A and B are shown apart, each in its own frame.
Chain A
Amino acid sequence: MQQENRQTLAVLVENKPGVLNRVVSLFRRRNFNVDSLTVGRTHKPHISRMTIVVDVQRHDVRVVAANLLKLINVIDVRVISQEPDVSRDLALIKVRTDDVDSRNSVTMICERYPARIVDIGTKVAILEITAQEDVVEAMIEELKPIGIVEMVRTGVVAMGRGTRILDSDYEPAVRITTNNAERIGV
């Protein structure tokens, strides 16, 4: 479930240099608040996909989407949070495990969450959790008393459920030939 004042956008973009910069610059210049932004490749090498969680207290999510669509390199935008969706956040959390108590607690907490211990030593352990954002947050709260020493999160990635597919048929023109592609680092 999303909080009322946050919406998740899925954004298909051309996989070209500078596109992330254009998106971030848009958010800064329009004063849109970003909660999290992730970007990665898709199964098509020329298309990347972003998941952007925006704070919509001051701006209508449709205005945010319309602004994104104005960017030439943005292929499509969908407000994922207004339909049934699957959303995931991944966290790596390094916690203190330098006594029996902490080791036991960490193991028990991990059993109750979709988490696992990916590295363990005499002083610290790294836990990995992949879950909905609020679940990740709940686990973090439980770990805090034990002692979190380091943490990194990917930010939310999301996808609509069912057969409503967000994809593009677009194929780039032959414009960038394979031999120049290497040279220009595309």
Chain B
Amino acid sequence: MLLTGSEIVMECLIREGVDVIFGYPGGAILPTYDAMTKYPQIHHVLVRHEQGASHMADGYARATGKVGVAIATSGPGATNLVTGIATAMMDSSPIVCITGQVARGSIGTDAFQETDVTGVTLPVTKHNYLVADVEELAYVIREAFHIARSGRPGPVLIDIPKDVQTQKTEFIYPEGEIRLPGYRVPSEGHEDDVMLAVDLINQAQRPIILAGHGIMMAGASEQLRELSEIAGIPVALTLLGKGAMPEDHPMVLGMMGMHGEAASNHAIQEADLLIALGMRFDDRVTGNLKTYAQKAKKIHVDIDPSEINKNVRVNVGIPGDVRAVLSQMLPHVHRTQHPDWMAWIRDWQEDADERDILQYSADSKLLGAQVINDLWQFTGGNAVTVTDVGQHQMLEAQYYPHQRPSSLITSGGLGTMGFGFPAAIGAKFGKPEEEVWAIVGDGGFQMTMCELATAVQENIDVNIAILNNAYLGMVRQWQEFFYEERYQSTPMVNPDFCKLADAFGIPSMRVTKREQVEESVAFARSIKGPVLIEYVIEKEEIVYPMVPAGADLHNMIRRPKPGESR
């Protein structure tokens, strides 16, 4: 069959199982948009800014585990994708971005809307391609999807010159093995390393598991729970690891790190063994590396060999698929419990419970923590929540326990404001049967709120919860703690979010009292399509506890107990 490059793109997308793509047209990608008319089985979502397209593809990928696809034109279209690509890179999210490029003869001439996009995205993609000939195209697309989804997943960009899109060739889909000589995906761990790790586990008195995103990527939740239960090991979670194990499980201590639970952080500092599974010792989880977990031997299992010994020197490093490696370990792990260790940890948990903001007598102000707690309660803890970045994100991590993998979608590594709302749209496309809530701050929402129009055009059923504190709250918190309350450029004069919703034809509700939260959830659920709830919350709330950047993990700023002053 003689097909154009553009038609080949569509044929290949169909064979990769793609049913929705997020994008924005322009000159250099027009041939491919034209080809879309012949392929109605792929639904194209017209975003309002290309950043939205890459975040939507990312949200779709994180919700489903499948590859998300974004498409844009050359030059500004492609550069607008970059923030979303970098976000996906940091959080190992499988997306494929297709960009138009000027015709081959014009490359390198500063042609209209020419940008060296493979150059620009080189450091923020797992791999990228500039397609040199239509003959390559099907191979490239197949490789791109394979690279994006396998091993440690990540974004792959394919830049296609306009004349390649119109070039014709005999299309034969390349079946058979993909030949990438330099691409290795580790699976099982080395037997010797596995046994060394098992010995450490069997000898440990004060072990702790650090579970990350990799658990969910590998589908290792079952194996994680078994290890924890058999060997009596408590589990601390990274932000992206939330959902790796049900958070109501008694062995789960909750999040670790900068805004982690005191019990998690103190247990890490006191442990004699860290078992790090599918996590990468980000500085937000370790604090000062010089004082980090000094009493502990360390085991590190990660699919990416370059993560091992990167930030933290470990005793046993096992490059491998965490599910395969745990399955190798489990038969050799002794059944045991660590009652003294657990009692020590329980003391920290009780101390935290006493300090918890939910214990404070309800005064008239609505707190972000209460809103999140109530959203959790009234959604039955079962929603897919997609957050933006800031205080509301950390409050979500603290007050919305997740029971299952991939039910929290959030930008961890890059901390990209503006991610939440478009990613929620993408997640809903991937999981139409789920209740999806975008939980965003007033600041971050304004970075990508143009996607309200997309949500309306697609009539996508996403519930938007804006936690409006009229501040760039997280930055304000840093200014309060570390810059003597000089609130430079953090107070915000905001639009009337409900009127804004109105302008887009979106139903909305403003919540100012705690009693209204339940009603707001019912209201959101009653509407099939986008709905916006504005929660007007206390302006100067603080997210406790906090480990200041670079401080020792055990030196946490704690919330005062009721009666104590700040």
Contact = CB atoms under 8 A, between A and B. Distances in A.
Contacts of B183: 72
Interface in B272-321: 304-306, 308-310
Nearest to A71: B182
Contacts of B310: 63
Interface of A: 13-14, 17-18, 21-22, 25, 29, 60, 62-63, 66-67, 69-76, 168, 170, 172-173, 175-177, 180, 183-184, 186
B122 A25 contact: yes
Contact of A66 (B126, B133, B136, B308): B308
Interface string B123-152: 100110010110110010000000100000
- Top-7 shortest CB links A-B: A170-B181, A66-B306, A184-B132, A75-B182, A66-B305, A72-B127, A67-B306
B38 interface: no
Contacts of A183: 133
Contacts of B127: 72
Interface footprint category on B = 20 to 34
B64 interface: no
A74 B182 contact: yes
B182 A177 contact: no
Given A176-B135, A184-B133, A21 B182 contact: no
A66 B304 CA distance: 8
A69 B309 contact: no
B139 A175 contact: yes
28 contacts: A22-B122, A25-B122, A63-B306, A63-B310, A66-B306, A67-B306, A69-B184, A69-B305, A70-B304, A70-B305, A72-B126, A72-B147, A72-B180, A74-B182, A168-B181, A170-B181, A172-B179, A173-B139, A175-B136, A175-B139, A175-B174, A176-B133, A176-B135, A176-B136, A180-B132, A180-B133, A180-B135, A184-B133
Contacts of B180: 72
A25 B132 contact: no
Contacts of B377: none
B118 interface: yes
Given A168-B181, A173-B179, A184-B133, A29 B123 contact: yes
B182 A76 contact: yes
B178 to A, nearest CB: 9
Interface in B155-208: 174, 179-184
Contacts of A177: 135
Contacts of A180: 132-133, 135
Nearest to B127: A72
Interface string B106-129: 000000000000110011001100
B195 to A, nearest CB: 21
